[in-house]
Amino acid sequence: MTLDEFKAACAALAADAPAQIAAVADLDAWTALRNALVGRASGRLTDIMATLPQLPKEDRREAGQAANAVKLEVEALLTARESGLSAATKSGGDLDLTMPARRRWVGAAHPVSQVIDEITEIFRELGFTIALGPEAEHTWYNFQALNFPDDHPAMDLHDTLYLQGDLVLRTHTSPVQVRTLQQYAPPIRILAPGNVHRRDPFDASHAPTFAQVEGLVVDEGITFADLKATLTHFANRFFGSTRTRFRPSYFPFTEPSAEMDVLCGVCKGSGCSVCKNSGWVEILGSGMVHPAVIESAGLDSTKYTGWAFGLGPARTALARHGIPDIRILYDSDVRFLEQFAR
Amino acid sequence: MNISHEWLKTLVPHTRSADEVRDLLTAHVATVEGFEHTRSELASFVVARVMESEKIPDTKLSFNKVDDGSGTLLEVVCGAPNVTVGTMYPFARTGTTMPAGLVIEKRKIRGFTSNGMLCSARELGLGQDHDGILPIETAAAPGTPLLDVLPISDVRIVVDVLPNRPDLLSHRGVAREVSALTGVAMVEPADWTAAVAIPAPVVGESSATAGGVAVRVDDREGCPRYGAAIIRGVKVGPSPEWLVKRLEAIGSRSINNVVDATNYLLHGFGHPMHAFDLSKLEGSTIVVRRATAGETLTTLDGTERKLTPSMLVIADAAHATAVAGVMGGLESEVTDATTDILLEVASFHAGLVRSGRRVLGLSTDASYRFERGVDDAALPELLARGAAYIAEIAGGTVETTLLVGAAPTPRARVSFAPSRVARLLGDAVPADEVVALLTSIGFDVQGSGDALSVAAPSWRHDVSRDVDLVEEVARLRGYDRLPDRLTGARPGNVPDHPLHTMGRRVRDALVADGLLEVRPLPFTTQRAESQARVLNPLAQDEAYLRLDLLDTLSRRAEYNLNRMQGNVRLFEVGTAFLAGSGAESVGGEEIRVAALLMGASRPPHFTEPKPPAFDAWDAKALATRVAHAAWPGATVEFAEAVRDGADHCLWTVAVDGSVRGHVSALTSLDAPNWASPAFGVELTLGAMPVAYVAPTGEHRYLAAAASGPAVTPVRYVPLPAMPAAEFDLALLVPTHISAAAVEALIRNTAGELLESVVVFDEYRGKGLPDGTRSVGWRLTFRHPERTLRDKEIEGRRAMLLKTLEKELGVVPRSA
Ligand SMILES: [Zn+2]
């Protein structure tokens, strides 16, 4: 026996082993094969090792290393094969790995909250922060401070729910404009999300309580050009690349006032039932802050200008998810809410 | 406001299409929210010329060859007696649907083939005339669509008129805008000849008498001006065709010629008018006064109405005969028997009309316009125009006209610097363009350069400041032509509201924990003696504002149970309305988070077909998680609760020492017997003050908050290098001793090497002395620098047992 012959015997074993190991079908066969390959009593490797004393002394170290490397390699293959076989043979050897995973309950933010979050994220990038205000609001903040003429049909635009004293349930989030202007010096760049309330019958398209997102910018040198550019930027981010259209409108607290439409996502402007054949879908009301509003917060309207907008996220949620009836948003059926997990 | 495109063209003879008018109005004036072609059912009809015609023997029919522009003559059988060769008629090709629904098909009649139908006026829905097919005189080629040839088509343009622009509530008002936008001058409508002589009005400050009729205005504030025309010898009957068509085009039904004339003037010129039967006015007298208490009036709609002194009425010598500006009375209504008419064209105080129609719960075309404001300066013109229209249409003579009151004061002038336009719009508009735009819609502009003085026309009530003029410039120029520029912005001074930030963290934690967010209505039934109530609720059973969020979540859980959904895990971050000191008033608002758990604590799996239901310990854990999400790093403590209420409160939850909410078993839930128990958590995140920030018209700036990080960062603790020593204490704990008390004593007694104390077991029942339970604690000790010796551990164990027995009477279970 020479060193070369010894190493050749090792290499032969290493070459044969993988196929033999892979071919083993059960644990009994595996045990038999292990004994045949590396078993202490009569394994092939043991037989090879038994020839080691026949080698010249100076070759034995190298031969031992070669034999050991083969041993480690074969044993690793055997171990891997064993765990595969035992996994397959537990509980009678019929584990079906296609069975479903263990689940957890999924949680979900409300679809309207998800829309508000997306809007918030876009305006955050533009430096807006979040302001809040109460839902039971003084009539002054809800109407007079916002330049609503007393006892005028403009009040009919907001069917109001009245509370004791001089409080109402706020009919829009715009009171937060005045509260913020009274509390912080310009520059102001805020978003005010929150619930508002109207005396509207609860039907497929109206709810007495619904979410609104208000935006307000007040500083020196703010113009209608900022309004158009910022809201168009928002529309492009929120709806994907789109086109906007501004048209005259009326809100007591803005002048000039403008509605912003985006190109109808269904027909891309050619007209369909969704957009009532106009090609456009109304998204938000906006305008330059009326100087009377700036003055009711004690600010100098010759120094400061600003713009504001308000939009209803529920309408977007209904359109986006194809929900036909707004009341579904309020029912709180778990099977509905679970659909919005992400 | 419904606008007829054809009617509009009688006032401003532009040549734009209805589509163009729609786009112009939406872009510059007010949004067009509806757009409808009338007679669209006739869109597929054409005109065709009869080229040859012969009688079919022994019938009334004729066999004709018709040129419909298609290039081949069509064979058509016709039953009409008036078929004339060389004449054009309306023609329905095969496949055309008739207005009555019949589809024209190719068919055989008496052996002759008929490829279409020549039509009569009645078949087209254009009138009752059925003498034969409708001859059309036209130079148009055969095959031209019928609607392009006959002046019968129209487009109804529905304009969404907002409360600031009542001047747009008439065709004349819309025509003014179209005239300004197209540059086409306004004209008198050609519908009539205006050949009627109108006597000049007899005027008076508060009363006038003429032609045997007296008009007296007692409430001059309520009625600044009252015009009346006396028209005698009218013949009430059907209206002429053109008038019926005008009214039909705006969706209004023809009633009789007198009423139709007043409606035409209302929609044409914007001023409400009312015709009284003069013979029914006692004493031939009109008195404008407040109603007296207890007075009643049966209005035109046949309803008897109780009047109050807050209402302005038109009365005769004896009693009220109309609610001013709202609706006339049935008694003095114009009927077929009427011959003499008093036509009223007046201006009424907007607020009085508003309160009157509110009390009556009645909104009419008239009250709608008076509330928003009419053009008082045009009253004399419209009185004459109204009288002339009635005399023209219904006959009779305008005997006299009366005008009581004074002309309105001219509009206050507004100083206006055109340079202000750039400050608001971002780009300058040349001063001469500003002047031209304002002048085009009737504004009176004086002065020059940057110092203009502008007066709004009498029909505009919405212009009092220079920004109002900027808006006019902006819209007339077109918003789309204004610049659009994203500029660098200074960062704002307002920090994020902490309750928003906190609410987001709580929501994220609950969503991650598998709960579903809801956004329900905050209304509820009465739960407590003093609870805020809505004064004018829509539904009496939801008239109150909720005191807590779990009330709402419980109702939502019941909704799910009714739909056989027993696995409910809902939460809300929302507002609770606290009771105030006054009856049914709001005392304050809190932003709270609430969660409701019931049913399986996790979804079933084949390894666990019946997962355990949520229990109190899950609710307690959820409360801990929510509290930590809301107040990171805070200490959260639970105390056994004593709380009355429908539900069984288990614990109050204190955060850093102050009570923030509770965990409850929701025992009051209306649940079927298959439902699992429900548990609720509700924590108050913070108050949302309702108070004024500052007095009205003032501000109160907060000092810029030098806000540091809200949360103290966690301090790093070195990982243990030495092994721990553990032992268990299985203790017999009397029922009245709480586990928390035992644990507190263990912590106090065990010394500083104690690392943790954890309950690992509880047992109640057989084998234990009465009034006790067995609770097992595992204690872990560790010395930072060396291994603890067995003797040290044993010493601590002995000392703990001794103290527990002495202080609490708690002994080892084995003893
Ligand atoms: Zn569309």
In Å, how far is A45's CA from the nearest CA of chain B?
43
In Å, how far is B450's CA from the nearest CA of chain A?
16
pLDDT band at B192; cut points 50, 70, 90 = low
Query: Searching chain A, which residue's CA lies closest to the CA of residue B698?
Result: A298
In Å, how far is B538's CA from the nearest CA of chain A?
7
Tell me, what amino acid is at B797?
R
Which residue's entry shows tokens 């809505």?
Answer: B534
| Residue-level pLDDT at A241 | 84
Q: What is the DSSP letter of B519?
A: -
Q: State the Cα–Cα distance between residues B502 and B513, nearest whole angstrom.
A: 17
In this prediction, residues B396-403 reach a mean pLDDT of 94
For residue B119, what are its two tokens?
Answer: 């039509």
pLDDT of B708 > 60? The answer is no
Which residue's entry shows tokens 């035409």?
Answer: B264
Q: State the Cα–Cα distance between residues A206 and A195, nearest whole angstrom.
A: 14
Q: Using alpha carbons, select from B722, B791, B732, B789 the residue that is nearest to residue B755.
A: B722
Q: What is the DSSP letter of B168?
A: G
Q: Are B474 and A224 in contact (CB under 8 A)?
A: yes
- Cα B265–chain centre separation: 30
Tell how strand B285-290 and strand B274-277 pair up: unpaired
| Residue-level pLDDT at A155 | 82
**Is A258 an interface residue toward B (CB < 8 Å)?**
yes
pLDDT of A39 > 90? The answer is no
Residue-averaged pLDDT of chain B? 92
Give the lowest-confidence range in A70-74, A317-321, B509-513, B555-559. A70-74
Give contacts of B510 with chain A, Cβ < 8 Å. 107
In this prediction, residues A228-257 reach a mean pLDDT of 95
Q: Are B321 and B284 in contact (CB under 8 A)?
A: no
Q: Using alpha carbons, select from B685, B686, B664, B683 the residue that is nearest to residue B554.
A: B664
**Is A90 an interface residue toward B (CB < 8 Å)?**
no
Query: Searching chain B, which residue's CA lies closest to the CA of residue A108?
Result: B516
Strand partners, B448: B451
- Cα B127–chain centre separation: 41
Q: State the Cα–Cα distance between residues A152 and A143, nearest whole angstrom.
A: 11
For A178-190, the pLDDT digits (tens) are: 999 999 999 999 9
Dihedral sign for Cα atoms in the order B749, B754, B755, B757: negative
Question: Rounded to the nearest whole angstrom, what is the distance from the C-alpha of residue A264 to the centroid of ligand 1?
Answer: 4
From chain A residues 271-330, the ones with a CB under 8 A of any chain B CB are 276-277, 288, 290-292, 295-299, 305, 329-330
| Residue-level pLDDT at B504 | 97
Question: Hey, what long-range contacts does B579-582 have (CB within 8 A, 24 or more apart)?
Answer: B579/B528, B579/B530, B579/B531, B579/B532, B579/B547, B580/A164, B580/A165, B580/B530, B580/B532, B582/A164, B582/A165
| Residue-level pLDDT at B646 | 66
> Are B586 and A329 an interchain contact pair (Cβ–Cβ within 8 Å)?
no
For B61-79, the pLDDT digits (tens) are: 899 999 999 888 889 999 8
Q: Is B510 helix (H, G, I), strand (E, B) or coil?
A: helix
**Is A233 an interface residue toward B (CB < 8 Å)?**
yes
% pLDDT > 90, chain A: 62
The secondary element (H helix, E strand) that includes residue B55 is strand B46-55
**Is A169 an interface residue toward B (CB < 8 Å)?**
yes
Q: Are B514 and A106 in contact (CB under 8 A)?
A: yes
Question: Rounded to the nearest whole angstrom, what is the distance from the C-alpha of residue A229 to the centroid of ligand 1?
Answer: 24
Sheet holding B586-598, edge to edge: B516-517, B568-579, B586-598, B678-687, B658-665, B648-655, B636-640
**Is A139 an interface residue toward B (CB < 8 Å)?**
no
Q: State the Cα–Cα distance between residues B91 and A123, nearest whole angstrom.
A: 61
| Residue-level pLDDT at B277 | 96
Task: Closest CB to B603: pick one of A105, A112, A152.
Answer: A105
For B224-233, the pLDDT digits (tens) are: 999 999 999 9
For B436-491, the pLDDT digits (tens) are: 999 999 999 999 888 999 999 999 999 999 999 999 999 999 999 999 998 888 99
In this prediction, residues A270-286 reach a mean pLDDT of 90
Q: In this structure, how many other beta carbons lie within 10 angstroms of the beta carbon of residue A7? A: 17
pLDDT of A93 > 60? The answer is no
| Residue-level pLDDT at B130 | 66
Q: State the Cα–Cα distance between residues B720 and A49, nearest whole angstrom.
A: 47
Which residue's entry shows tokens 């039909």?
Answer: B248
Task: Closest CB to A331: pick one of B559, B606, B699.
Answer: B559
In Å, how far is A201's CA from the nearest CA of chain B?
7
Tell me, what amino acid is at B395?
G
For residue B363, what are its two tokens?
Answer: 């909104």
Q: State the Cα–Cα distance between residues A45 and A38, nearest whole angstrom.
A: 5
| Residue-level pLDDT at B502 | 96
Give contacts of A130 with chain B, Cβ < 8 Å. 496-497, 500-501
Q: In this structure, how many other beta carbons lie within 10 angstroms of the beta carbon of residue A195? A: 18
Task: Closest CB to B494: pick one of A99, A153, A184.
Answer: A184
> Are B426 and A207 an interchain contact pair (Cβ–Cβ within 8 Å)?
no
Give contacts of A99 with chain B, Cβ < 8 Å. 606
Q: Is B90 helix (H, G, I), strand (E, B) or coil?
A: strand
% pLDDT > 90, chain B: 76
Alpha carbons within 13 A on the beta-carbon side of A60: 10
Q: Using alpha carbons, select from A322, A238, A326 the residue that is nearest to residue A284.
A: A238
Q: State the Cα–Cα distance between residues A20 and A78, nearest whole angstrom.
A: 10
For residue A279, what are its two tokens?
Answer: 């090609």
Q: Are B94 and B103 in contact (CB under 8 A)?
A: no
| Residue-level pLDDT at A151 | 82
When scoring B369, B494, B568 by the number of chain A Cβ atoms within 10 A, the one with the most, hence best to mutate, is B494
For B522-546, the pLDDT digits (tens) are: 999 998 888 999 999 988 889 999 9
pLDDT of A138 > 90? The answer is yes
pLDDT of A91 > 60? The answer is no
> Are A246 and B533 an interchain contact pair (Cβ–Cβ within 8 Å)?
no
In Å, how far is A244's CA from the nearest CA of chain B?
9
| Residue-level pLDDT at B644 | 62
In Å, how far is B219's CA from the nearest CA of chain A?
20
From chain B residues 486-515, the ones with a CB under 8 A of any chain A CB are 486-487, 489-497, 499-501, 507, 510-515
pLDDT band at B597; cut points 50, 70, 90 = very high
Q: State the Cα–Cα distance between residues B778 and B17, nearest whole angstrom.
A: 89
Task: Closest CB to A135: pick one of B518, B559, B589.
Answer: B589
Alpha carbons within 13 A on the beta-carbon side of A48: 29
pLDDT band at B640; cut points 50, 70, 90 = confident
The secondary element (H helix, E strand) that includes residue B532 is none
For residue B577, what are its two tokens?
Answer: 């309305």
- Residue A128 has phi, psi (to 5 degrees) of -85, 145
In Å, how far is B206's CA from the nearest CA of chain A?
27
Give contacts of B694 with chain A, Cβ < 8 Å. 182-183, 298
**Is B523 an interface residue toward A (CB < 8 Å)?**
yes
> Are A135 and B522 an interchain contact pair (Cβ–Cβ within 8 Å)?
yes
Q: In this structure, how many other beta carbons lie within 10 angstroms of the beta carbon of residue A68? A: 13
| Residue-level pLDDT at B798 | 93
Q: State the Cα–Cα distance between residues B626 and B684, nearest whole angstrom.
A: 11
Q: Using alpha carbons, select from A222, A199, A200 the residue that is nearest to residue A289.
A: A222
Q: State the Cα–Cα distance between residues B237 and B58, nearest whole angstrom.
A: 44
